């Protein structure tokens, strides 16, 4: 069976060795030394000023919206994981969807201005598959209309844009370290910011709003544990090797697939990529379903990611986003993980190409 992703697990002994430090101290959560060390190493690896390790990427988004005092309308993308929209709703704000671009599937920054109202307080955009949003244009609009900017950087770990980590843009960027992501701590996430003031606020939010016996603000339990931090410390030194393998597989897909009857998202920006996903776009949903089942027959799992377009969620008032709806019906993520082999990629590509050929004959 080939899954769409496979969690990278380090050699058990290496993990146990780091974990032993927590055991020896009998300190397993509440800002222990492994959490502090992981935060330090992540700041260095990503070259970001402030970073807090959180329990997951969704709580990170919720804390970010709260810290920026956003209570009304948030302009956001319909093409993301449901956590992006749900965090807006969870904070009792209103998501206003702006359609996406045809090339990188990120929010179309040129369409944002038309959706700004007197109630707009922020923009929450996703760096889709790790491709950068138009951060320059979004920054200009934020200045012009006095809006806060949050980037959902769940896919953007290790991506650089203009010589900077993609996670260093916006008022706050969030990341997810879930087991399915390129860098993981089993469950986990982070809030990242260049502002010391925001960081202090988030630091309090993350642990109930108090420091010792002093109570300063509202808060939530957004902490993470020493066991999770140990996984991150174990994997981080291996990440450049992991990304290197993924790059090789990514290029194999590029080389073997035939892009006359299908396409894939790409970024026009000059940036360093982390090769986190390999999505392909078919001409119709019918072709996608056919290709997907042909792969499933050979025990190859794919994922409709992202599907559905979030503007069509059944618990929301419908807002029209034609491009996102069309792409989400036709896009399929192919298997991509560190230990996938070149032969397996060849097999996947052959099944897809055969299916496309037979489809044209049927038509």
Task: Give the interface segment with ligand PLP, choosing from 78-86, 226-234, 262-270, 344-352 (CB under 6 A).
Answer: 78-86
Give the CB-nearest residue to ligand PLP.
57
Cα(195)–Cα(61) distance, rounded to whole angstroms?
16
Token representation of residue 85:
């929209």
- 84 part of the interface to ligand PLP, by CB under 6 A: yes
Q: Are 328 and 309 in contact (CB under 8 A)?
A: yes
One residue of 80, 85, 120, 224 binding ligand PLP per CB under 6 A = 80
- State in angstroms the smallest separation of the CB of 108 from ligand PLP: 17
- 229 part of the interface to ligand PLP, by CB under 6 A: no
- 58 part of the interface to ligand PLP, by CB under 6 A: yes
Closer to ligand PLP at the Cβ: 252 or 309? 309
Q: Are 39 and 51 in contact (CB under 8 A)?
A: yes
Coil vs helix vs strand at 263: strand
Closer to ligand PLP at the Cβ: 28 or 186? 186
One residue of 149, 154, 202, 356 binding ligand PLP per CB under 6 A = 154
CB atoms inside a 10 Å sphere around CB 126: 28
333 - beta bridge partners? 279, 303
Runs of H (alpha helix) within the chain = 12-25, 33-46, 57-67, 82-90, 135-145, 196-206, 226-235, 239-256, 285-297, 322-330, 342-362
- 126 part of the interface to ligand PLP, by CB under 6 A: yes
- State in angstroms the smallest separation of the CB of 81 from ligand PLP: 4
Token representation of residue 166:
């993609």
Cα(85)–Cα(95) distance, rounded to whole angstroms?
7
- State in angstroms the smallest separation of the CB of 270 from ligand PLP: 23
One residue of 152, 171, 226, 325 binding ligand PLP per CB under 6 A = 152
- State in angstroms the smallest separation of the CB of 80 from ligand PLP: 5
Q: Which residues touch 222 (CB under 8 Å, ≥6 apart)?
A: 54, 55, 59, 60, 63, 205, 206, 207
Binding site for ligand PLP (CB under 6 A): 56-58, 80-81, 83-84, 126, 152, 154-155, 176, 178, 189
């Amino acid at each position: 069976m080939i899954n769409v992703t496979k969690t990278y697990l380090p050699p058990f002994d290496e993990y146990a060795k780091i974990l032993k430090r927590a055991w020896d101290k009998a300190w397993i959560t509440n800002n222990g030394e492994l959490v502090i060390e992981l935060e330090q190493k992540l700041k260095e690896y990503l070259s970001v000023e402030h970073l807090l390790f959180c329990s997951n990427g969704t709580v990170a988004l919720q804390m970010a919206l709260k810290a920026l005092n956003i209570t009304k309308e948030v302009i956001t993308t319909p093409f993301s994981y449901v956590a992006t929209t749900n965090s807006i709703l969870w904070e009792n704000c209103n998501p206003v969807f702006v359609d996406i671009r045809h090339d990188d599937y990120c929010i179309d920054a040129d369409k944002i201005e038309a959706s700004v109202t007197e109630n707009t307080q922020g923009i929450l955009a996703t760096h889709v598959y790790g491709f950068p949003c138009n951060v320059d244009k979004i920054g200009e609009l934020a200045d012009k209309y006095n809006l806060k900017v949050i980037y959902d950087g769940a896919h953007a770990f290790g991506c650089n844009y203009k010589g900077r980590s993609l996670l260093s843009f916006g008022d706050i960027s969030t990341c997810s370290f879930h087991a399915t992501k390129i860098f993981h701590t089993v469950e986990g996430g982070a809030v990242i910011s260049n502002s010391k003031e925001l960081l202090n606020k988030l630091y309090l939010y993350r642990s109930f709003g108090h420091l010792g016996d002093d109570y300063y603000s509202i808060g939530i339990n957004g902490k993470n544990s020493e066991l999770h931090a140990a996984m991150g410390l174990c994997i981080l030194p291996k990440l450049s090797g992991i990304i290197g393998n993924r790059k090789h597989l990514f290029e194999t897909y590029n080389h073997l697939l035939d892009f006359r009857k299908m396409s894939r998202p790409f970024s026009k920006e000059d940036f360093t990529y982390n090769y986190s996903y390999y999505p392909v776009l078919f001409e119709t949903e019918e072709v996608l379903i056919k290709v997907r089942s042909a792969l499933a027959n050979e025990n190859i799992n794919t994922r409709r990611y992202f599907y559905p377009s979030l503007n069509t969620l059944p618990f929301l008032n419908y807002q029209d986003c034609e491009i996102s709806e069309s792409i989400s019906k036709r896009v399929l993520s192919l298997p991509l993980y560190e230990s996938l082999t070149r032969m397996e990629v060849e097999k996947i590509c052959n099944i897809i190409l055969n299916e496309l050929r037979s489809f044209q004959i049927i038509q």
